């Protein structure tokens, strides 16, 4: 790995931003809003049905101009085109990055190595729709003739987080007599709890794995087969109770799943960008093909916006640039994603893989060690729960934590005043973070001076507010695509490969070495460092079958 000054921090746009931030850092949102009463209306963009208010960031008009220059200087425009054109922008894996093809309309053509992939995508969507309709209608029967009542998706990472997030997000639109579960962890408890009250005769497993070799998924898939056959007895039953979603037909066949029951996707779909591919089969089973297509249309609308809108009005570009500013120029280390929508409870977890597996990188595309921070830590919880837990630190702690608030104008479950109260809270939080409450204001309320510092809110905490009309399948598509492209924007500026994930490999290899040391060679001397060796020995003494 070369240790060298990369051109990014030496570039004119970066240096200009550094100089600007040195003075802008001292500005307070209270003053910025006081100086410009139209700020809240100016620093917002409305596009693709999303109202994006970024006025509560510690920025001026000049900050935006400089960030836009940074984007231009980074070649963002041509990189976007390269992605949409199917160029192999995932350089370390020599792959095209074409999740946008998964939601391209039938009339479009997108070539990968000379082959138009759009007809392939639609053929799989049609196959998924045919299967989904048969299961949803009860026409698809289990081995003993009973209709399917339970669907269990077995997968991990992108083969789990997208499906579970989308299922939870769109549950309102789901067929309620079908029961959906998601098993991801290799911890047997995940599988045991997901299946303990289910009848195998009515249960369908979707084994979702791009590679079909992932340890966790294959371990769970084998346990599922054992569990199903305990009741169903005959291996012929597998064909009625197991389907696969994968790029690897050979491994699917080896596992014993008929490739007629396999839903294909392609190496140009990254795991964390795969929820629109056949990996979304559980989503389609839950909400039906029509709603699934509406979700894809939402994704596509944001794709078109990202590709065509000028950067100053481009939602993903602005979201990405603001994240860069907070991270690289204001020193923020994390981003809190706070959806004020219970159905989005798994959205922060989904975003964690999307953002951190994509942009948690330490070298540039050329393999040069970066000398600037890359991907921040994303985390969050649905509002209002977080307000009664970690918001204290965001409001009064010593760290700068930019927040993305996400909210919807209409409730899917309107009950009394709940929605107004919910929305009042999200607006109040963004307001409190930005403006705070000065010691004078606190004392003016009658607080004694010894207590006033504790009750003072400095404010000047940045946030974005992302407001949509209603959580529909299309709205979810737009929201996810907004973050996907914002991640891409940041990756381009940092000159990193946002589409590989080498950082997950070492732990996998070491685990494969340790497994036999725990199981088949329990008396051997483990071959690791003294800490790992001692842990292995101690674990062996805990194992149920260890000699006592």
User: Which residues contribute to the site for ligand F6P (CB under 6 A)?
Assistant: 156-159, 209-211, 214, 217, 271-272, 357, 501, 504
Query: What torsion do the CA atoms of 48, 49, 51, 52 make, to the nearest 10 degrees?
Result: -30
**All residues at 6 or more sequence positions from 405 whose CB lies less than 8 Å from its CB, including other chains:** 338, 340, 383, 426, 429, 430, 463, 464, 465, 466
List 222, 508, 525, 537, catalytic entry: 508
The helix-helix angle for 281-308 and 473-494 (nearest 10°) equals 60
Nearer to ligand F6P, 157 or 320 (CB): 157
β-bridge partners, 407: 340, 467
Write down the least CB distance from residue 63 to ligand F6P, Å. 34
Write down the least CB distance from residue 242 to ligand F6P, Å. 16
Q: Which tokens sit at 330?
A: 């204001």
List 234, 388, 538, 548, catalytic entry: 388
Give me the helices (H) in 343-472, please: 347-352, 358-359, 391-396, 418-435, 439-444, 452-455
Q: Which tokens sit at 43?
A: 């620093």
Q: Are strands 463-468 and 50-53 parallel, antiparallel or unpaired?
A: antiparallel
264 noted as active-site residue: no
Write down the least CB distance from residue 513 to ligand F6P, Å. 18
Write down the least CB distance from residue 471 to ligand F6P, Å. 25
β-bridge partners, 40: none
361 noted as active-site residue: no
Write down the least CB distance from residue 208 to ligand F6P, Å. 7
DSSP letters for 99-147: GGGGG--TT---EETTEE-HHHHHHHHHHHHHHHHHHHHT-SB-TTSPB
Give residue number: closest CB to ligand F6P. 271
357 noted as active-site residue: yes
Nearer to ligand F6P, 222 or 525 (CB): 222
List 216, 357, 381, 517, catalytic entry: 357
The position carrying tokens 């789990």 is 160
φ, ψ of residue 147 to 5 degrees: the values are: -70, 160
φ, ψ of residue 389 to 5 degrees: the values are: -135, -85
Nearer to ligand F6P, 9 or 511 (CB): 511
Write down the least CB distance from residue 511 to ligand F6P, Å. 12
Nearer to ligand F6P, 211 or 447 (CB): 211
**All residues at 6 or more sequence positions from 108 whose CB lies less than 8 Å from its CB, including other chains:** 118
The position carrying tokens 């409450």 is 437
Nearer to ligand F6P, 269 or 394 (CB): 269
Nearer to ligand F6P, 20 or 346 (CB): 346
Q: How far apart are CA 426 and CA 335, in angstroms?
A: 16
Nearer to ligand F6P, 182 or 340 (CB): 182
Catalytic amino acids? Answer: 357, 388, 508
């Amino acid at each position: 790995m070369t240790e060298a000054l990369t051109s990014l921090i030496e570039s004119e746009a970066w240096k200009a931003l550094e100089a600007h931030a040195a003075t802008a850092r001292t500005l307070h949102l209270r003053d910025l809003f006081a100086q410009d009463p139209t700020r809240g209306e100016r620093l917002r963009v409305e596009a693709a049905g999303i109202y994006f208010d970024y006025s509560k960031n510690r920025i001026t008009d000049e900050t935006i101009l400089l960030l836009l220059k940074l984007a231009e200087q980074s070649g963002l425009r041509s990189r976007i085109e390269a992605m949409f054109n199917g160029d192999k922008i995932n350089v370390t894996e020599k792959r095209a990055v074409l999740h946008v093809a998964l939601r391209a309309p039938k009339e479009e053509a997108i070539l990968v190595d000379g082959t138009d992939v759009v007809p392939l995508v639609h053929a799989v969507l049609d196959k998924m729709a045919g299967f989904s309709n048969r299961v949803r209608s009860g026409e698809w029967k289990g081995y003993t003739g009973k209709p399917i009542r339970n669907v269990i998706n077995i997968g991990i990472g992108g083969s789990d987080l997208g499906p579970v997030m989308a299922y939870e997000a769109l549950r309102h639109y789901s067929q309620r007599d079908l029961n959906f579960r998601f098993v991801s962890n290799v911890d047997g408890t995940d599988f045991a709890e997901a299946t303990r009250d289910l009848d195998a005769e009515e249960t369908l497993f979707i084994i979702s794995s791009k590679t079909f070799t992932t340890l966790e998924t294959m371990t769970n898939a084998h346990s599922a087969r054992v569990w199903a056959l305990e009741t169903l007895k005959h291996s012929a039953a597998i064909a009625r109770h197991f389907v696969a979603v994968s790029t690897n037909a050979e491994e699917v066949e080896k596992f014993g799943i008929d490739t007629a029951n396999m839903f294909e996707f392609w190496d140009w779909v990254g795991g964390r960008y795969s929820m629109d591919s056949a990996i979304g089969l559980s989503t389609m089973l839950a909400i039906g093909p029509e709603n699934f297509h509406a979700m894809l249309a939402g994704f596509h609308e944001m794709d078109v916006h990202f590709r065509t809108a000028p950067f100053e009005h481009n939602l993903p570009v602005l979201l990405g640039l603001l994240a860069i500013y907070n991270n690289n120029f204001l020193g923020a280390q994390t981003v809190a994603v706070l959806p004020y929508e219970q159905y989005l409870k798994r959205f922060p977890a989904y975003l964690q893989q999307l953002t951190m597996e994509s942009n948690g990188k330490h070298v540039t595309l050329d393999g040069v060690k970066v000398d600037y921070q890359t991907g921040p830590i994303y985390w969050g919880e649905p509002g209002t729960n977080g307000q009664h837990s970690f918001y204290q630190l965001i409001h009064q702690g010593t760290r700068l934590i930019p927040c993305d608030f996400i909210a919807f104008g209409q409730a899917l479950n309107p009950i009394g005043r709940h929605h107004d109260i919910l929305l009042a809270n999200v607006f109040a939080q963004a307001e409190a973070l930005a403006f705070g409450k000065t010691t004078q204001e606190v004392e003016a309320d009658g607080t004694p001076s010894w207590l006033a510092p504790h009750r003072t809110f400095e404010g000047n905490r940045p946030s974005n507010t992302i407001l949509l009309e209603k959580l529909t399948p299309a709205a979810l598509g737009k929201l996810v695509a907004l973050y996907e492209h914002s991640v891409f924007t940041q990756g381009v500026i940092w000159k990193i490969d946002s589409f590989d994930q080498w950082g997950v490999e070492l732990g996998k290899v070491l685990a494969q070495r340790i497994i036999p040391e725990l199981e088949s060679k329990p008396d051997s001397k483990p071959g690791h460092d003294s800490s790992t060796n001692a842990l292995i020995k101690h674990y062996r003494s805990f194992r149920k079958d260890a000699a006592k």
